[in-house]
Structure 1
Amino acid sequence: MEPLLIYKALSNETRCQIMQWLKNPEEFFDENPYLQQDLSFRIGVCVGDIQAKSGLAQSVISSYLLTMQKAGLLESERIGKWTYYRRNEQTIQAFSDYIQNKL
């Protein structure tokens, strides 16, 4: 875990919102399309759904998600032509411990 990368990733309001959305995706996204494909939010949330919720361009959201993934905050899984993102709870916990114990 590199704290500086995490700080940078979280320094953007939309990226912080994405982290909140992915913490409880059932509150922010429609689960029906996932269930119809025999998927659940455990796999993550599709980039297209994150983009639609944000109202930003797909290229911007893809860039944000990549930044967050490089910082270790997100994990991704590709199924067919779709990529799904979920929080990396181990990194988030390690960062929380770092803040609590080092700062």
Structure 2
Amino acid sequence: MYEMLRIPLDRTRLRILAWLEEPDVAGRGLTADDVAARLGVPRPAAVTHLRLLTALGLLRAVPRDGCPHYRRDELRISDVAQMFEKGW
């Protein structure tokens, strides 16, 4: 799974996960438009990254104001980190 997060080489998905740890962002979550603007990528590319992270269980989409706001799933991230620590 970690390898999936590292591709593409610019580590976009890892950057999204790190950004979602920032206190001002963690509470409200991010929209695809937020990600596209911050990373300077087209909205469809941002949606693809967010959907992959959601499919992996690392993000949750919470509907708010008519669009999904993505937040980290800290429990799932902790579980995945433990698997890697055990050499999985």
TM-score range, shorter chain: 0.7 to 0.9
Partner of residue 52, structure 2: 67
Aligned-pair identity in percent equals 22
1:25 CA drift (Å): 5.0
- TM-score of the superposed pair, with normalisation by structure 2: 0.83
1:82 CA drift (Å): 2.0
Partner of residue 44, structure 1: 29
Q: Structure 2 vs 1, CA of residues 25 and 11 (structure 1 numbering), >3 Å: closer, same or farther?
A: farther
Give 1 or 2 for the bigger CA radius of gyration. Answer: 1
Partner amino acid for 1:23?
Answer: E
Partner amino acid for 2:81?
Answer: S
Q: What is the alpha-carbon distance in structure 2 between the residues aligned to residue 23 and residue 78 of structure 1?
A: 19
1:55 aligns with 2:40: yes
Please tell me whether the aligned partners of residues 44 and 84 of structure 1 are also in contact (alpha carbons under 8 angstroms). yes
Residues 16-31 of structure 1: pairs in structure 2 closer than 5 A? 16-26=14-24
Q: What is the alpha-carbon distance in structure 1 between the residues aligned to residue 83 and residue 13 of structure 2?
A: 20
- What is the Cα-based RMSD across aligned positions, in Å? 1.8
- TM-score of the superposed pair, with normalisation by structure 1: 0.72
* Bigger RCO of structures 1 and 2 (CA < 8 A, at least 6 apart): 1
Gap runs ≥5 in structure 2: none
Q: Structure 2 vs 1, CA of residues 10 and 68 (structure 1 numbering), >3 Å: closer, same or farther?
A: farther
Any idea what the Cα deviations from partners look like across 1:2-34, whole Å, max 9, x if unmatched?
xx4x541343311111011011152xx6xxxxx
Please tell me whether the aligned partners of residues 9 and 71 of structure 1 are also in contact (alpha carbons under 8 angstroms). no
Gap runs ≥5 in structure 1: 30-40
3-state DSSP of counterpart to 2:63: strand
